[in-house]
């Protein structure tokens, strides 16, 4: 079997997605997701100008060799654009390989290690009572694990607060990023009260998660972690930026709160120290942003050696193609922890019909050969690309902060 064609396309059924399709002379095709929120055209161009023309005539079953060729062969290593592009090719090749062997992809990753994949949903609101209503709505849908985000009083924009009921999308359409203001002091005052309020309302029946979205220093993160311990969060996510991995030693020394990190990581080198020193509990790296399944498997195996579990990033800015890749991965690896599962809109699901299904707080990837996802290209063409950006955050004195 040989690759005869490879193409990338960008569509916006409500939000932008970058999709790769690889075709073979055997008539089998594979799909990959190259979406990088707010930087879609950079990845599409890297793919169409520099990667896709190299694939013709190659053996699509040689997933590892092709990965190494694209990674080492570029000379310029790592980085979000490059690794999202390599990730999309790799996912498409695994899809192809599983279709060629006529098995659901998880069978090639070790087979099922569990019956189903536990997922968490996103409850958010502008005040605590509405937040409890949102938590109850997710609980009633069957979610056993729920991320809670609420706008702190005195803060103009809390991170992670959606506009609608069930859909959360942080990017806003337009030629420039939206601007938001942030106050760490108000947030630190409020976050423990938010947890206390939700625990009072729901007791211990639910796993509660929370995302600080890179806004604290390690010392502030340690302070917050201590105060959340009595409420036993499932995890506290992205409490501080991790360019300085050693910074997490400080957080770790001061709190037992479980830490999750890594949704912006694009290679194993972003988390090597975090894993080998057991500085985190859950690794958030995700296949489409982190070099595909081939690379993510290496991260998961290194994590397993150090008693760290996975918690793949699964936001709405990852298409159903990469979501399916995660569900197959989650079902197969031993050290799976939990899977983020935000809900795509009906418009998105129509463009990417898929076999994975949600039931009572869990997802199963389905038993269709390959990933179990299709791409309706005619429908996609009816949703042309619309530029959208993630917001930029400022402190109240105008200093640029981490969004």
Which residues are known to be catalytic?
Answer: 159, 213
Task: Please classify residue 387 by burial: count the beta carbons closer than 10 Å to its beta carbon, then call 0-12 exposed, 13-18 middle and 19+ buried.
Answer: middle
The SS3 of residue 385 is coil
- Could you tell me which stretch among 20-28, 192-200, 227-235, 312-320 binds ligand EZ4 (CB under 6 A)? 312-320
Q: Is 37 in the site for ligand EZ4 (CB under 6 A)?
A: yes
Q: CA 27, CA 252: separation in Å to the nearest integer? A: 52
CA atoms lying within 13 Å on the CB side of residue 333: 28
Give min distance, CB of 315 to ligand EZ4, in A. 4
**Rg of the chain taking only CA atoms, in angstroms:** 20
Helix orientation angle between 292-305 and 80-100, rounded to the nearest 10 degrees: 100
Read off the tokens for 361: 């707080």
Judged by CB under 6 A, the residue of 390, 394, 401, 402 near ligand EZ4 is 390
Measured in whole angstroms, the distance separating CA 96 from the mean position of its chain's CA atoms is 22
The answer to whether 95 contacts ligand EZ4 (rule: CB under 6 A) is no
Q: Is 12 in the site for ligand EZ4 (CB under 6 A)?
A: no
Given candidates 151, 317, 319, 361, which one binds ligand EZ4 under the rule CB under 6 A?
Answer: 317
User: Which stretches of 101-166 are DSSP H helices?
Assistant: 128-141
Residues binding Co ion: number (CB under 5 A)? 2
Residues 135 and 198: their CA atoms lie apart, in Å, by 8
The total number of residues written for the chain in this structure: 403
How far apart (Å, rounded) are the C-alpha atoms in residues 372 and 369?
6
Mask of contacts with Co ion, 166-205, x by CB under 5 A?
----------------------------------------
CB 108 within 8 Å of CB 93: no
CB 282 within 8 A of CB 307: no
The DSSP bridge pattern shows strands 282-283 and 259-261 to be parallel
Q: Which window, 47-55, 201-209, 258-266, 391-399, contacts Co ion (CB under 5 A)?
A: 258-266
Binding mask 274-313 for Co ion (x = CB under 5 A): ----------------------------------------
Which among Co ion, ligand EZ4, none contacts residue 315 (Cβ within 5 to 8 A by kind)? ligand EZ4
Exposed/middle/buried for residue 389 (C-beta within 10 Å: 0-12, 13-18, 19+)? middle
Shortest spacing between CB 1 and ligand EZ4, in angstroms: 35
Cβ closer to Co ion: 220 or 263? 263
211 forms part of the interface with Co ion (CB under 5 A)? yes
Stretch that binds ligand EZ4, among 17-25, 270-278, 313-321, 345-353 (CB under 6 A): 313-321
Does the protein bind ligand EZ4 through residue 170 (CB under 6 A)?
yes
Q: How far is the CB of 213 from Co ion (least distance, A)?
A: 6
Q: Is 119 exposed, middle or buried (0-12, 13-18, 19+ CB in 10 A)?
A: buried
Binding flag, residue 211, ligand EZ4 (CB under 6 A) = yes
How many of the chain's residues bind ligand EZ4 (CB under 6 A)?
9
- Beta carbon of residue 264, minimum distance to Co ion (angstroms, whole number): 9
Q: Choosing among Co ion, ligand EZ4, none, which partner's interface includes residue 158 (Cβ < 5 to 8 Å by kind)?
A: none
Q: CA-to-CA distance for 352 and 19, rounded, in angstroms?
A: 10
Nearest CA to 165 out of 145, 141, 182 is that of 141
What's the min distance (Å) between Cβ of 370 and ligand EZ4? 25
Q: Does the protein bind ligand EZ4 through residue 40 (CB under 6 A)? A: no
Site stretch for ligand EZ4 (CB under 6 A), options 133-141, 222-230, 310-318, 349-357? 310-318
Q: Which stretch binds Co ion (CB under 5 A): 23-31, 77-85, 208-216, 394-402?
A: 208-216
Q: How far is CA 102 from CA 58, 98, 107, 321, 372, in A?
A: 21, 6, 10, 18, 11
**The binder of ligand EZ4 chosen from 15, 213, 252, 364 (CB under 6 A):** 213
Contact between 260 and 207 (Cβ < 8 Å): no
CB of 388 to ligand EZ4, least distance (A): 10
Q: Least Å distance between CB 211 and ligand EZ4?
A: 5
Please count the CA atoms within 13 angstroms of the CA of 120 that sit on its side-chain side: 24
| Shortest CB 215 distance to ligand EZ4, Å | 11
Q: Which of residues 341-370 bind ligand EZ4 (CB under 6 A)?
A: none
């Amino acid at each position: 079997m040989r690759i005869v064609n490879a193409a990338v396309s960008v569509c916006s059924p409500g939000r932008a997605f970058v999709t790769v399709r690889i075709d073979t002379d055997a008539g089998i095709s594979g799909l990959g997701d190259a979406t990088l929120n707010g930087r879609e055209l950079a990845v599409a161009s890297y793919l169409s100008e520099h990667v896709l023309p190299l694939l013709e005539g190659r053996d699509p079953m040689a997933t590892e060799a092709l990965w190494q060729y694209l990674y080492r062969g570029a000379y310029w290593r790592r980085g979000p654009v490059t690794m999202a592009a390599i990730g999309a090719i790799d996912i498409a090749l695994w899809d192809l390989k599983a279709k060629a062997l006529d098995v659901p992809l998880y069978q090639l990753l070790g087979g099922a290690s569990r019956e189903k994949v536990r997922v968490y949903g996103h409850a958010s609101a502008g005040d605590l009572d509405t937040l409890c209503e949102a938590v109850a709505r997710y609980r009633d849908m069957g979610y056993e694990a729920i991320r809670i985000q609420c706008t702190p009083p005195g803060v103009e924009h809390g991170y992670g607060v959606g506009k609608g009921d069930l859909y959360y999308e942080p990017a806003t359409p337009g030629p420039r990023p939206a601007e938001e203001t942030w106050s760490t002091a108000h947030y630190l005052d409020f976050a423990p009260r938010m947890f206390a309020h939700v625990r009072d309302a729901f007791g211990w029946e639910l796993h509660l998660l929370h995302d600080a979205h890179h806004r604290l220093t390690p010392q502030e993160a340690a302070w917050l972690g201590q105060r959340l311990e009595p409420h036993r969060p499932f995890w506290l996510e992205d409490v501080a930026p991790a360019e300085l991995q050693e910074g997490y030693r400080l957080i770790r020394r001061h709190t037992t709160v479980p830490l999750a990190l890594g949704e912006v990581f694009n290679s194993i080198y972003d988390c090597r120290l975090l894993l080998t020193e057991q500085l985190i509990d859950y690794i958030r790296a995700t296949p489409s942003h982190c070099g595909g399944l081939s690379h993510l498997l290496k991260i998961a195996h290194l994590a397993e050696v150090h008693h760290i579990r996975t918690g793949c990033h699964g936001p709405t800015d990852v298409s159903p193609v990469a979501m399916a890749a995660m569900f197959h991965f989650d079902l197969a690896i031993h050290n799976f922890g939990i899977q983020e599962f935000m809900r795509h809109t009906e418009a998105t699901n129509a463009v990417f019909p898929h076999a994975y299904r949600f039931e009572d707080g869990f997802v199963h990837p389905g038993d269709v050969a390959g990933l179990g996802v299709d791409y309706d290209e005619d429908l996609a063409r009816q949703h042309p690309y619309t530029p959208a950006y993630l917001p930029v955050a400022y402190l109240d004195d105008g200093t640029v902060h981490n969004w």
